[in-house]
Amino acid sequence: MGQDVIRRNVLREHDTARGANIALLGRIAGARHHRTVLLNAMENAGFTNYATEFWHFSVADRYDALMRQEPDARYGPIELP
């Protein structure tokens, strides 16, 4: 269980502002670096990141079109037969 708490703290940047355990700071910096690598790779491949969720990306749907200020999405809901 203690391991889960550490992982959650590493993923939540605002924990550092709340005074997260000093031993986690190196891990947080490493996690931030890897999030930046992920963000750059996904954006270079055409994906749009959800600003509040570093792990969540979108492509060619309504959110992506909104963020790119495009009038329409390439993909959307379908009508079932």
pLDDT value of residue 51: 81
- Percent of all residues in the chain with a pLDDT value above 90, rounded to a whole number: 36
What average pLDDT does the segment 52-58 reach?
Answer: 87
Residue 57's pLDDT is: 93
pLDDT at 81: 87
Q: Which residue has the higher pLDDT, 24 or 73?
A: 73
57-58/48-49 β-pairing? antiparallel
58 with 38: CB under 8 angstroms?
no
pLDDT tens-digit map of 11-43: 444 444 444 455 555 677 788 888 889 999 999
8 Å CB contact between 42 and 49: yes
